[in-house]
Chains A and B, each alone.
Chain A
Amino acid sequence: MDLSYSEDHTLLSESIARFIQNDYDFETRSRIAASDLGFDPGVWQQFADLGWLAIPFSEDEGGLGADPVSVMILMERFGRGLVLEPYVPSILLGGRLIAVAGGAEQRSRHLGALIAGKIQLAFGHGEPGGRYALAHVATRAEGGAGGFTLSGQKAVVHNAEAADFIIVSARSSGEVRAQEGISLFLVPRRTPGLTVRPYRTVDGLRAAELVLEGVQVGEDALLGEEGGAYQAIEAVTDQAVAAVCSEAVGVMDLLRETTLEYLKTRQQFGRPLGAFQVLQHRAVDMLIACEEARSLALMATLSLDKTVTERRRAVSAAKARIGNAGRKVGQEAVQLHGGMGVTDELKVGHYFKRLTMIDTFFGDAAHHLDRFAGNA
């Protein structure tokens, strides 16, 4: 066993840290968040040019063939920078679904463009009333001459408005929560019958509600086998959940460091807040929460290529714990900043909000605790 970074890992980590420091300070980030698009296409192109969009793809797929640890490093750095660009929906969900479920033709047509920064993707999967059940798909796919007709609704689809293609899950057979019968379709965003209702999210990202009313797609829109997409969906969302756990680790670290700095500088009663023992212990508890989160995010990352049961356990362990640890670290960061903590002006609140919403990404702490328990 060796849990240390390779030289490549260190270089990657440093180059992203440099980018955040030089090109993505908090003011820049706030400006981008307030823009219509909600991310910066120039920054996205920079990611492409630096090769970061290629990291999760094998050389066959036109990528760099980097390991999951590289994704972990990237996401942790993105967490620290509170990066808005749609890496998760476009690359880790959309791109990986095409890579895992798509045929050779689809892969070569779309992945190259994606990695070059030319197209954006989104994954329309969750539905109103589905909560976090991954197999909950009520959206229907009716096969017909030369293609499929899709009808249904999708909830809180990140990056949908900017996406050139939305990968939509739909059911051609089976009960609403059955694993069998789910298919994936690559739907151009401007397809007649597809309504995208976009909005900002509380953590400064962009998402949308989708309504599909008799959306017609050709046979070539089907990704993988009809009715057999569940395994791919679970594998890809597990990878994305592990990545988002690493993002959370970056967010938590930054909150912890910012809070520690505040405890050292903010004076009340003639001394720094950090001189009060009760606050020292709170800071230590934050550190413990961050360390445990980092440990489990690493474990999840290193388990992604293990058996399905091992992968599920590891990913759910990490997501469950990070949901709770993130809540604690976020709340404490706000509390220890006093009134400053609840202002829009300070970074702290923005990191706190992102951390809070990470818990809702493909299953909250309660959901993953349950999934962990069910995969003993």
Chain B
Amino acid sequence: MARYPKPPEGSWTEHFGLDTAPVSYADSVSPEYYERERQAIFRRAWLNVGRVEQLPRKGSYFTKELAVVNTSVVVVRGMDGEIRAFHNVCRHRGNKLVWNEAPEEETQGFCRQFTCKYHAWRYGLDGSLTFIQQEGEFFDVDKDQFGLVAVHCEIWAGFIFVNVAREPEQSLRDFLGPMITALECYPFDQMTSRFGYRTEVKANWKLFMDAFAEFYHAPVLHSKQSPDKYSAAAREAGYEAPHYQVDGPHRLVSTSGVRFWEMDPSSLKPMENLTRGGLFGPWDKPDLGELPAGVNPGKCNPWGLDSFQLFPNFVILIWGQGWYLTYHYWPTSYNTHIFEGNVYFTPATNVRERIAQEMSAVTFKEFALQDANTLEATQLMLESGYVERFPLNDQEVLLRHLHKVVADWVNEPAGVPA
């Protein structure tokens, strides 16, 4: 018996017009399919590369390695305060323009201009070529024609997106659509206390998207993270989400809340009781004022979190306890990707707030380590190819949606699918 009402069609899967048959994971084990994804998805979609707080002042910059579209971009706040993105390549002989020590590693910093390490060509923060070493030796080089090559760059709610298409088919706002843009007034800009983690995962990027798009796994894979009394009850109950939503290529799952602080302390870990923090975040939440209507759109009560998956590879996860996470899945091959997780809180003003945040961040990492290794085990056996059809349940509806949207884009390279 379902704890939460299903849509009139009888299931979320049918409600969204998705097939209910077993699925294939052929899209996650094929170098050829990955090449098609690179062309049809990553070279056409808006990709989040960071937040405006990473560029606090004029001249602040960071680089982002985008192996999936075969480039590195440098994102910089110009003297006019505008944020721009450029291909990170010198126009003279193609040297990577901004890097430190190791050319394949990302870097960040502050500067008044960019100077190439090779022959000292200089560029303004707006990308204009301002200086050529021994200019007289060249043959009528028009400096106006040799500025840095711009990458389309737009900002929404403090999130910086780039698009490497020659001309994006949609503006960022149109691409994000109403479900995502309804989050616009969430106080992301107040949550500047950041814990960032990164790893390479030996699995196709979509498998990790899948892992965090369903919570069916939670009472099983993570059962040992809770005292026996709690985990036994959780496993018995299983998992149901109260609300799912899709909007174009993007998707949402909301979960119900758990009031840990009202629970019997023996159902909690001693360190949770001591720090007043844990997986769901600090127990004492900051006053964020009224939240925008886009948050908890299913009006779940109690409400735990909203996990918004933005196509193709970006997740914004907003917790009811007043903090948020972002996930990025950056493909590096058909069976590897870089996973980056960021945890954002309002800055702690005292030790107790900070300790609760530390506990929440450390707990997040413990869970992520469990999730990541499961994926490598999945990738290995999917690649064996002996099993081709996999049944998905209604709590895994968003997995079907992701793989369908990927297929729609890959199969329709001429325009953004309706």
On whether the two chains bind one another, the answer is no
Chain A residues with a Cβ under 8 A of chain B: none
